[in-house]
C-alpha cells in the first residue's frame, strides 16, 4: 500500500513515515520546506520527499493521503484531493488504526516535558530488554531516531514480531483541519502520564478551561485496568480530575506519593512516601528533569520494571536533541540549544543552568518568540520575569514586534533585533570567556547556533 504524507517534515508526521516504512508501506511525502533534522532522517530511510504542495503530486497515485495538522483549507494539493474525492485520513487516526490498537500504549501528556519524559520512558523499557515501539517529538540520543515499531530481535532480521509496548508523546494540539479534537484522543493509552497543565496554543484554545476539557476527554478513555500517573503539585490537573475519573491514579512530586530530593553531588534520592528507594546519579539539569524522571520511572513500573532497574537506565540516559544540548565551546564561551518556548519552560531551563554554573558566571539568554502563542503576545506579561535569572537578554523580534516594549521595560539589559546577522554580531561582541549562551526557540532560528560559533571562532581572544 502506498501512502503520501502531507506535512511530512514535522516530527510527528515524520515519525509516522518511519513507522509506515518499517511496516512495509510505500511512503512518499511533501512539505512546504523540506528541512532537517527530519528530512535527513527520512532520506536515510529512502523516503521520497517533495518540496511544496503542488497538485501535480496526484500523479503519484497513492492509495491514501495522510494529512498533517499543518495543512489547511486553501492548500492547493488538499483542495484537489477534496475536489476529486480521494481517500484521506489524519495522521493520529492512521496511527491508531494501523499501529496502536495492538500495543499497550504508554502516553505522555502535559504542557511541558513530554518529549524528554517520553524519551526517558522508552529508554527505560529498552534498557530492560522490552524493545518498545515509540513515536517522540524529538530525537532521543540513545536511539538516534524519533520513531520505530519495536520489532523484537531475533535470528530472522525480517521478523514482524513486535514488543507489546509503545511509548508516544501525547500532544493536545488539534488533529487536522477536519478533526479539531486533540491528537492524544486517538492514542487510547493504558498507561497515561500527566506531567502538568498550563494555558498554551492560544491559536486554537480560547482559554485554559478549553484545554482542561480536552484533558478530561483523554482521562475518560483510559481503562480502569490502566494507570494515570499525575503531577500531584498541579492544581489545574486536580481540577480536571474533579470532573470525574475511572482509573487508578498514582501521584509524583508530593510527599504522600513518589518524590525526590536533589543532593549536592548530582545525586537525586527517590522516595515512596517516607521509604527510600534508590539514588539516581546523572548530569541532567533542573528540578523539572527530576520530575520527568519520576514520571517515567512510575510508568515503567506499571509495565513491570522495578524502580531500581529504571534508575540504572536513567544513569545511562543521553537526553534529547535540543533539550539543553551543548552545541560547542569556543574561546571559553559555551553555547546551548533548547526548545523552550513557554515562560514556564524558559524559567525552569534558565534556573537549571544557573544552579549548574553558579552565580558568578554570566548567562546570555537568546530568545526567538516563534510559537503561535508567543507571536500573538499571549505571554507578554510573563516573559520578562521568566528571563530574570539571565544576566543579558537578546530577543529576535522579526515576528514578535510586541516584545520590544516588554524587553525594554525589563529590569535586565535587553537587546532586540529584527535582523539575524545583527543579532549574532551583538551577541558575540558581548560574550567573553566563561559566559554561557542559551539559545531558546522551537524552530531552526535561521541556523543561529552555527553562526554564533563561527563568529566566536573568528573573534580575537
Q: Kindly tell me if the per-residue pLDDT of 410 is higher than 70.
A: no
Long-range contacts of 422-426 (CB under 8 A, 24+ apart): 423/366, 423/394, 423/396, 423/448, 424/448, 424/451, 424/452, 424/455, 425/455, 426/394
> Which residues, 6 or more positions from 320, have their beta carbon under 8 angstroms from its beta carbon?
115, 116, 119, 136, 138, 139, 140, 141
**CB-neighbour burial class of residue 381 (10 A; exposed 0-12, middle 13-18, buried 19+):** exposed
The span from the CA of 64 to the CA of 171, in Å, is 24
Q: Are strands 275-281 and 267-272 parallel, antiparallel or unpaired?
A: antiparallel
* Number of CB atoms found within 10 A of residue 255's CB: 10
Which residue in this structure is represented by grid cell 498533517? 68
The span from the CA of 120 to the CA of 96, in Å, is 23
pLDDT averaged over every residue in the chain: 88
CATH superfamily of this structure's domain 325-458: Mur ligase, C-terminal domain (3.90.190.20)
* Number of CB atoms found within 10 A of residue 86's CB: 15
Q: Are 256 and 247 in contact (CB under 8 A)?
A: no
Q: Are 81 and 88 in contact (CB under 8 A)?
A: yes
- Percentage of the residues of the chain whose pLDDT score is greater than 70: 89
CATH superfamily of this structure's domain 99-314: Mur-like, catalytic domain (3.40.1190.10)
Helix axes 287-302, 114-127, angle to 10 degrees: 50
Instruction: Give the helix/strand (H/E) hosting 94.
Output: helix 91-98
**CB-neighbour burial class of residue 32 (10 A; exposed 0-12, middle 13-18, buried 19+):** middle
Residue among 184, 186, 188, 187 at smallest CA distance from 201: 184
**Domain ranges in the chain?**
2-90, 99-314, 325-458
Residue among 182, 186, 210 at smallest CA distance from 198: 210
Q: Which residues pair with 89 in a beta bridge?
A: 66
Q: Which residues pair with 252 in a beta bridge?
A: 231, 258
Q: Kindly tell me if the per-residue pLDDT of 400 is higher than 70.
A: no
pLDDT-based confidence at 404, cuts 50/70/90?
A: low
Cα 391 from chain centroid (whole Å): 27
**Per-residue pLDDT reduced to its tens digit, 428-451:** 999 999 999 999 887 778 889 899
The span from the CA of 327 to the CA of 342, in Å, is 22
Q: Are strands 363-367 and 392-396 parallel, antiparallel or unpaired?
A: parallel
Residue 383: what pLDDT? 73
Q: Pick 2-90's CATH classification: 3.30.300.10, 3.40.50.720, 1.10.10.10, 3.40.50.300.
A: 3.40.50.720
Higher pLDDT, 128 or 413: 128
**Per-residue pLDDT reduced to its tens digit, 64-122:** 999 999 999 999 999 999 999 999 999 999 999 999 999 999 999 998 889 999 999 99
Amino acid at each position: 500500500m502506498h501512502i503520501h504524507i502531507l506535512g511530512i517534515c514535522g516530527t510527528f508526521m515524520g515519525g509516522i513515515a518511519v513507522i509506515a516504512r518499517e511496516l512495509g508501506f510505500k511512503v512518499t511525502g511533501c512539505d512546504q520546506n523540506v528541512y532537517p533534522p527530519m528530512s535527513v532522517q527520512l532520506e536515510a530511510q529512502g523516503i521520497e520527499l517533495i518540496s511544496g504542495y503542488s497538485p501535480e503530486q496526484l500523479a503519484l497515485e497513492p492509495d491514501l493521503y495522510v494529512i498533517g495538522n499543518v495543512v489547511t483549507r486553501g492548500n492547493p494539493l488538499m483542495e484537489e484531493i477534496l475536489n476529486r474525492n480521494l481517500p484521506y485520513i489524519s495522521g493520529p487516526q492512521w496511527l491508531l488504526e494501523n499501529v496502536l490498537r495492538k500495543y499497550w500504549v504508554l502516553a505522555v501528556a502535559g504542557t511541558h516535558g513530554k518529549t524528554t519524559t517520553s524519551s526517558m520512558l522508552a529508554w527505560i523499557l529498552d534498557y530492560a530488554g522490552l524493545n518498545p515501539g515509540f513515536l517522540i517529538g524529538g530525537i532521543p540520543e540513545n536511539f538516534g531516531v524519533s520513531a520505530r515499531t519495536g520489532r523484537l530481535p531475533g535470528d530472522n532480521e525480517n521478523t514482524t514480531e513486535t514488543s507489546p509496548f509503545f511509548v508516544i508523546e501525547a500532544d493536545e494540539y488539534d488533529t487536522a483541519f477536519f478533526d479539531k479534537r486533540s491528537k492524544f484522543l486517538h492514542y487510547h493509552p493504558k498507561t497515561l502520564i500527566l506531567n502538568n497543565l498550563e494555558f498554551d496554543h492560544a491559536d486554537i484554545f480560547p482559554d485554559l478551561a478549553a484545554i482542561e476539557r480536552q484533558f478530561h476527554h483523554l482521562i475518560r478513555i483510559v481503562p480502569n485496568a490502566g494507570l494515570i500517573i499525575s503531577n500531584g503539585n498541579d492544581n489545574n490537573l486536580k481540577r480536571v480530575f474533579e470532573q470525574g475519573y475511572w482509573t487508578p491514579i498514582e501521584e509524583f512530586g508530593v510527599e504522600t506519593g513518589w518524590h525526590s530530593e536533589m543532593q549536592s553531588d548530582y545525586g537525586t534520592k527517590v522516595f515512596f512516601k517516607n521509604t527510600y528507594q534508590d539514588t539516581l546519579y546523572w548530569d541532567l539539569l533542573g528540578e523539572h528533569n527530576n520530575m520527568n524522571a519520576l514520571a517515567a520511572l512510575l510508568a515503567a513500573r506499571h509495565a513491570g520494571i522495578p524502580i531500581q532497574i529504571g534508575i540504572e537506565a536513567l544513569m545511562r540516559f543521553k537526553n534529547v536533541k535540543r533539550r539543553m544540548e551543548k552545541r560547542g565551546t569556543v574561546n571559553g564561551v559555551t553555547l546551548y540549544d533548547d526548545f523552550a518556548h513557554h515562560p514556564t519552560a524558559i524559567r525552569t531551563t534558565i534556573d537549571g543552568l544557573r544552579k549548574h554554573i553558579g552565580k558568578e558566571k554570566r548567562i546570555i539568554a537568546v530568545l526567538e518568540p516563534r510559537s503561535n502563542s508567543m507571536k500573538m503576545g499571549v505571554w507578554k506579561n510573563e516573559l520578562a520575569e521568566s528571563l530574570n535569572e539571565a544576566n543579558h537578554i537578546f530577543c529576535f523580534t522579526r515576528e514578535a514586534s510586541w516584545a520590544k516594549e516588554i524587553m525594554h521595560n525589563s529590569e535586565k539589559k535587553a537587546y532586540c533585533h529584527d535582523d539575524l546577522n545583527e543579532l549574532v554580531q551583538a551577541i558575540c561582541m558581548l560574550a567573553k570567556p566563561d559566559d554561557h549562551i542559551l539559545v531558546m526557540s522551537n524552530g531552526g532560528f535561521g541556523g543561529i547556533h552555527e553562526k554564533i560559533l563561527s563568529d566566536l571562532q573568528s573573534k580575537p581572544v
